[in-house]
Structure 1
Amino acid sequence: MAAVAAAQKNREMFAIKKSYSVENGYPARRRSLVDDARFETLVVKQTKQTVLDEARLRSNDSSVEPENEKPVQQPEEPTNKDDTGLTEEEVVLSNAISEDPESEKMNQRAALILHLKEGMNSLARVLKSIEKYQGVVVHLETRPTQNQGTQLDALVKVDMSRINMLQLLKNLRQSQTLEHCTLIGEDNISAKNPWFPRHASELDDCNHLMTKYEPDLDMNHPGFADKVYRARRKEIAEIAFGYKYGDPVPYIEYTETENKTWRSVFTTVEELMPKHACGEYRTVFRLLQKEGLFVPDHIPQLEDMSKFMQKHTGFTLRPAAGLLTARDFLASLAFRIFQSTQYIRHINSPFHTPEPDAIHEILGHMPLLADPSFAQFSQEIGLASLGASDEEIEKLSTVYWFTVEFGLCKEAGETKVYGAGLLSAYGELLHALSDKPEHRPFDPASTAVQPYQDQEYQPIYYVAESFDDMKDKFRRWVSGMSRPFEVRFNPHTGRVEVLDSVEKLESLVHQLNTEVLHLSNAIHKMKAPSIC
Structure 2
Amino acid sequence: MSTEVENCAKRRLAFQKTYSQEMGGWRKRSLIDDAKFETLANQEFEKRERKISNTEIAENDDVFAQNGGHPASPKPESVVITSYVIKLKEGLGSVARILKLFENTKTTLLHIESRQTRTKGRTFELFLECQGSKDTLASITNALHQHPVVQDGSVTVVGEKTPNKKELWFPRHISDLDKCTHLLTKFEPDLDYEHPGFADKEYRQRRKMIADIAFDYREGEPIPRIDYVQTEIDTWSHVYRQLKNLHPTHACSDYQQNFEMLERECGYSENNIPQLQDVSTFLKRKTGFQLRPVAGLLSPRDFLASLAFRVFQCTQYVRHGAKPDYSPEPDCVHELLGHVPMMADPTFAQFSQELGIVSLGAADADIEKIATLYWFTVEFGLCKENGEIRAYGAGTLSAYGELKHALSDKPKVLPFDPDVTSLQEYTDDDFQPVFFVIESFEEMMDKVRQFSSRIKRPYEVHYDPFTQCIQLLNSKGMLHQLARNLHSELDNLQRAIDRIHNVTIN
**What TM-score do the two structures reach when normalised by structure 2?**
0.70
Q: Matched residues in 1 for 2:351 and 2:216: separation?
A: 30
Q: Matched residues in 2 for 1:469 and 1:440: separation?
A: 15
How far the C-alpha of 1:267 sits from its partner, in A, is 1.1
Which structure is higher in helix share? 2
Question: 1:279 corresponds to which residue?
Answer: 253
Question: 2:435 corresponds to which residue?
Answer: 461
Which of 390, 397, 403 aligns to 2:364? It is 390
Contact 1:93–1:162 (CA<8 Å) still a contact in 2? no
Q: In terms of mean alpha carbon deviation, does 264-273 or 474-483 score higher?
A: 264-273
Distance 1:210 1:165, change over 3 A: farther
Does structure 1 residue 212 correspond to structure 2 residue 212? no
Matched residue type, 1:220: E
SS at match of 1:248: coil
Question: 1:477 corresponds to which residue?
Answer: 451
Which consecutive aligned stretches of 4+ in structure 1 deviate over 3 angstroms post-superposition?
A: 88-95, 110-114, 156-159, 163-169, 189-194, 529-532
CA RMSD of aligned residues (A): 2.7
Question: For each residue in 1:265-321, what CA deviation from the matched residue of structure 2 results, as whole angstroms up to 9, or x when unmatched?
Answer: 111111111211111101100111122521111100000110010010010011101
Does structure 1 residue 435 correspond to structure 2 residue 348? no
Distance 1:477 1:339, change over 3 A: same
Matched residue type, 2:335: E
Higher relative contact order (CA 8 A, sep 6+): 1
Which of 46, 53, 75 aligns to 1:162? It is 53
Distance 1:112 1:245, change over 3 A: closer
How far the C-alpha of 1:194 sits from its partner, in A, is 3.3
How far the C-alpha of 1:401 sits from its partner, in A, is 0.5
Q: Matched residues in 1 for 2:406 and 2:379: separation?
A: 12
How far the C-alpha of 1:217 sits from its partner, in A, is 1.1
Identify unmatched segments of 5+ residues in structure 1. Answer: 1-87, 96-109, 115-138, 141-155, 170-188
How many residues matched?
A: 373
Matched residue type, 1:91: E
Distance 1:438 1:305, change over 3 A: same
Matched residue type, 1:291: E
Does structure 1 residue 311 correspond to structure 2 residue 285? yes
Distance 1:453 1:527, change over 3 A: same
Question: For each residue in 1:328-377, what CA deviation from the matched residue of structure 2 results, as whole angstroms up to 9, or x when unmatched?
Answer: 00000000000011110011111111111010010000111111010000
Q: Matched residues in 1 for 2:392 and 2:51: separation?
A: 46
SS at match of 2:190: coil
Distance 1:256 1:416, change over 3 A: same
Q: Matched residues in 2 for 1:377 and 1:530: separation?
A: 33
Contact 1:112–1:157 (CA<8 Å) still a contact in 2? no
What's the % identity of the aligned pairs?
A: 51
Q: Matched residues in 2 for 1:312 and 1:441: separation?
A: 30
Distance 1:111 1:481, change over 3 A: closer
SS at match of 1:160: helix
Distance 1:430 1:163, change over 3 A: same
Q: Matched residues in 2 for 1:306 and 1:447: separation?
A: 31
Which of 212, 223, 226 aligns to 1:238? It is 212
Q: Matched residues in 1 for 2:58 and 2:191: separation?
A: 36
Contact 1:284–1:371 (CA<8 Å) still a contact in 2? yes
Question: 2:344 corresponds to which residue?
Answer: 370
Q: Matched residues in 1 for 2:322 and 2:7: separation?
A: 53
Distance 1:424 1:401, change over 3 A: same
* Mapping of residues 167-178 of structure 1, within 5 Å: none
Distance 1:220 1:89, change over 3 A: farther
How far the C-alpha of 1:195 sits from its partner, in A, is 2.2
Question: For each residue in 1:77-123, what CA deviation from the matched residue of structure 2 results, as whole angstroms up to 9, or x when unmatched?
Answer: xxxxxxxxxxx88835999xxxxxxxxxxxxxx65849xxxxxxxxx
Identify unmatched segments of 5+ residues in structure 2. Answer: 16-39, 42-46, 61-162
* Mapping of residues 91-490 of structure 1, within 5 Å: 91-92=4-5, 111=12, 113=14, 160-164=51-55, 190=164, 193-490=167-464
Contact 1:241–1:320 (CA<8 Å) still a contact in 2? yes
* Mapping of residues 26-37 of structure 1, within 5 Å: none
Distance 1:359 1:165, change over 3 A: farther
Does structure 1 residue 522 correspond to structure 2 residue 496? yes
Q: Matched residues in 2 for 1:421 and 1:482: separation?
A: 30
Matched residue type, 2:298: L
Question: For each residue in 1:153-202, what CA deviation from the matched residue of structure 2 results, as whole angstroms up to 9, or x when unmatched?
Answer: xxx96661534368999xxxxxxxxxxxxxxxxxxx93674321111100
